[in-house]
Structure 1
Amino acid sequence: MRLYSTLALALLALLLGCSSGKSLYKHGDYYDAVFESVTRLQGNPNHKKATEVLSLSYPAAVQYIDAQVQAAIASDQPFKWRSAVEQYARINNLHDAIMRSPAALKIIPNPVSRFKEIGEARDKAAEECYTAGINEMLKNNRENSKQAYYLFRDANGFVPGYRESIEMMDKAKSDATIRVIVDREAPNRFNWTFNQFVFAYKSNEFVQFYTPEQVRSDTSIHPHQVVSVQFLRYGETPPSVSRTTSNFGDSLVVGEKTVGTVKKPVKKWFTAQATVFRKSMTSEGILHLTIADLKSNALLRNTDVRSAMSWSDQWASCSGDNRVIPSSTKNLCGKSEPVPQQGYLVNQTRTDLEGKLSGEIAGFYGRY
């Protein structure tokens, strides 16, 4: 068997040296070689190179994966049965791919499977994850509780309902979760509210936000922090207008004349003047964000969230011959003095504040 395998690997290396798929196989990636061959055979059942590659790469792949499994099981690595499940699944993937391809099945008529073995490995993987989760919980701190939650989740994934894995997941997640009160906002003349953008943060499953009413009505909620978002101010600058005057001139054709037998264009110099006006306005909005630890009263975050927005537009007053005015300026000629859309800066500022507040919350609680 060892001699067969050695010869097979040598033949495979020789074959792949001249194969168009050399880049896939040159590192001995027999697993992907099988899938590549099966794909080619599905498109062309008589593909000669794919036939040869599959006949050599499949036994090499199974032999290599089985060796990986046995090495993992014999080792003292902490999650060796998880590794065994993953490797057995690879063999089963090869089996299924060949079974779905009539052309591949003619080449490998009896693909091996590890369905029985993977079932036994799942039981042992669930046990090792569950035991490791219990050990993490005994360390009694938040970070270890997070790791315990993932381990109990994995145990339940390997064997649904394994022992008390679901109950222990809930316990570990509860111990790992930061509970945050979102303080009430003071009313403001714009009727702006921002707390909804704190509650909208869902990226970290170990952070949970509550209203003060929820905490008061449920004594089982023991909050760790309080977030406060307060609107400080909004203001706009009065419109300011600047102007720039430019003179233009060019020689334009106004007719033609005949000199001897040759017609020549007649040109005349034309001038124009354009005064470009620019009207500008700016706005500023400010929120204040604090995040405090309820046990120590320490301020964990204390910052202003600022938005500075602007609006501007142009128009021009033009005289002379418009033909000599550049098109970028000419388009402004005759345009009326612009007025910003009602509420434009207010809405832009509010939207910008919402986005920046969301970013602040995500940046802070993403670390938890």
Structure 2
Amino acid sequence: MLCLLACILLWGCRSGEKLYNKGKYDNAVTAFVKKLQRKPQDATALQLLPEAYRQAQKMHEDRVNNLLRSNNQLKWEPIRNEYRTMQRLYDAIHSSPAALKIVTPKDYSNAITGALENAAETRYDRGTALMQRGDKASARKAYDEFGAALKLIPNYRDAQARKDDAFQAGVVYVVVSEVDVRSPYFQFSADQFRDYLVRSLQQRNVNRFVVFYDERTARNENLRPDQYIALRFQDFVVGQTYVDRARREVSKEIVTSTTKDTTGKTINTYTTVRATIVTTKTTVESRGLLDYQIADISNGKILRSDRIPGSYTWFNQFATYTGDSRALSEADMASIGGRDLPPPPPQELFMEFTRPIYNQLEKDLRDYYAYID
């Protein structure tokens, strides 16, 4: 145990010296302080700690001075970080009486507070200037600036109220139109399509600054939208039916009786059996296109437009036979069965062929609104 302890102390000293020689003065100070906590008379730590601290202090204060001379509006945040690093060294040295005897560290607590206040004020002023521009994109940036001020100093001035105002000013209200299907028979299904879409976009919280409404709700609430999504189904066919009947004759020779001649040889008597297999395949196709456009209400500009195809094929097959079942092979027997089923109702077929359209449209809108200027 004594040998192990000696090795640890020796490694700690050498580690601090290596860090010092590599110019990693912050880490070297910490290493030397830890060494003096364990061995207050360590010669290497006592010799190198003052210089390591002096070099660390010079390095960070040089960075602070360079930042102060810069035109970077957000310089107070990295300045605060430099002061905080130096304050950690101040606290570390104060944790070791042996270290405190040879180094008088500087207390940066007031400097940290000053930098923090300047950083919060800068963020607040930037948010105020952005709000004065009067456009939604700037309001959204102002929201982030006021949020940054509050993160630096909770309850800073009236930043929370300003942040709330910025959010309301930056929200984009998007109204999704009633779906034009050019067929009153499918209007209910089209309304379901639109309702599912709006509900999904709302629940997914695509973007905190984007709020989706269906056209009916927006009209009832007298909402003035910023953008309008027009949806229209066209060139669609629901329930186009194709019936294919195939008739196939099959036959097989089978043994009907067995006798033996005078020599004892077996003699088989054969007969041919026949059957007719009728296979009916019913295919019901539904397909269509959805056109959509996103328009800016303020200037009528088309922001995005696309056409999405979709299709759905319902299929049913059954087979029957007439004649002698002995004419059927194993494969034939396996194909026999099923029944003549009616296709789904048109409304269900409409929903099925619009399902891939819905999935693609929702993805397009989520991708588009995930990031807005």
Normalising by the smaller structure, the TM-score range is 0.5 to 0.7
TM-score, normalised to structure 1, is: 0.55
8 Å contact from structure 1 (residues 287, 306) kept in 2: yes
The verdict on how the C-alpha distance between 1:197 and 1:116 changes in structure 2, with shifts beyond 3 A counting, is same
The verdict on how the C-alpha distance between 1:126 and 1:361 changes in structure 2, with shifts beyond 3 A counting, is same
Correspondence list, 1:182-261, <5 A? 182-185=176-179, 186-188=187-189, 192=193, 193-200=196-203, 202-218=205-221, 221-232=223-234, 233=236
Write the distance in 1 (CA, Å) between the matches of 2:24 and 2:145: 31
Q: Which one has the bigger helix percentage?
A: 2
The verdict on how the C-alpha distance between 1:224 and 1:93 changes in structure 2, with shifts beyond 3 A counting, is farther
Helix, strand or coil at the partner of 1:226 = strand
The AA in structure 1 aligned to 2:66 is: A
Partner of 1:251: none
**Displacement, 1:174?**
2.4
Partner of 1:121: 115
Write the distance in 2 (CA, Å) between the matches of 1:187 and 1:157: 49
Write the distance in 2 (CA, Å) between the matches of 1:189 and 1:84: 58
121, 124, 133: which one aligns with 2:127: 133
The AA in structure 1 aligned to 2:189 is: N
Helix, strand or coil at the partner of 1:187 = helix
The verdict on how the C-alpha distance between 1:16 and 1:298 changes in structure 2, with shifts beyond 3 A counting, is closer
Write the distance in 2 (CA, Å) between the matches of 1:172 and 1:195: 25
The verdict on how the C-alpha distance between 1:117 and 1:357 changes in structure 2, with shifts beyond 3 A counting, is same
Structure 1 unaligned spans of 5+: 1-10, 18-24, 241-278, 313-331
69, 80, 98: which one aligns with 2:64: 69
Helix, strand or coil at the partner of 1:184 = coil
Partner of 1:322: none
Write the distance in 2 (CA, Å) between the matches of 1:347 and 1:36: 68
Helix, strand or coil at the partner of 1:355 = helix
Write the distance in 2 (CA, Å) between the matches of 1:347 and 1:37: 69
Partner of 1:302: 305
Partner of 2:10: none
Write the distance in 1 (CA, Å) between the matches of 2:204 and 2:54: 50
Helix, strand or coil at the partner of 1:222 = coil
Helix, strand or coil at the partner of 1:296 = coil
Write the distance in 1 (CA, Å) between the matches of 2:115 and 2:355: 53
**Displacement, 1:361?**
0.7
Partner of 1:353: 357
139, 142, 145: which one aligns with 1:145: 139
The AA in structure 2 aligned to 1:71 is: N
Helix, strand or coil at the partner of 1:188 = helix
TM-score, normalised to structure 2, is: 0.54
8 Å contact from structure 2 (residues 174, 228) kept in 1: yes
8 Å contact from structure 1 (residues 290, 299) kept in 2: yes
Partner of 1:78: 73
The answer to whether the aligner puts 1:173 opposite 2:167 as a matched pair is yes
C-alpha RMSD over aligned residues: 5.3
Write the distance in 2 (CA, Å) between the matches of 1:171 and 1:351: 39
8 Å contact from structure 1 (residues 188, 231) kept in 2: no
Which protein has the larger Cα radius of gyration, Structure 1 or Structure 2? 2
**Displacement, 1:236?**
8.6
Write the distance in 2 (CA, Å) between the matches of 1:143 and 1:174: 12
8 Å contact from structure 2 (residues 127, 142) kept in 1: yes
The verdict on how the C-alpha distance between 1:77 and 1:190 changes in structure 2, with shifts beyond 3 A counting, is closer
**Displacement, 1:138?**
2.2
Helix, strand or coil at the partner of 1:194 = helix
The AA in structure 2 aligned to 1:289 is: Y
Write the distance in 1 (CA, Å) between the matches of 2:358 and 2:178: 17
Write the distance in 1 (CA, Å) between the matches of 2:142 and 2:314: 53
The verdict on how the C-alpha distance between 1:297 and 1:214 changes in structure 2, with shifts beyond 3 A counting, is same
8 Å contact from structure 1 (residues 182, 227) kept in 2: yes
The answer to whether the aligner puts 1:163 opposite 2:120 as a matched pair is no
Write the distance in 2 (CA, Å) between the matches of 1:93 and 1:352: 58
Correspondence list, 1:2-17, <5 A? 15=18
Partner of 1:329: none
Q: Deviations over 1:151-176 (max 9, x none)?
A: 22212222222222112212222222
Write the distance in 2 (CA, Å) between the matches of 1:107 and 1:177: 59
8 Å contact from structure 1 (residues 152, 166) kept in 2: yes
**Displacement, 1:36?**
11
8 Å contact from structure 1 (residues 197, 357) kept in 2: no
8 Å contact from structure 2 (residues 17, 28) kept in 1: no
8 Å contact from structure 2 (residues 197, 362) kept in 1: no
8 Å contact from structure 2 (residues 16, 31) kept in 1: no
8 Å contact from structure 1 (residues 201, 361) kept in 2: no
8 Å contact from structure 1 (residues 156, 165) kept in 2: yes
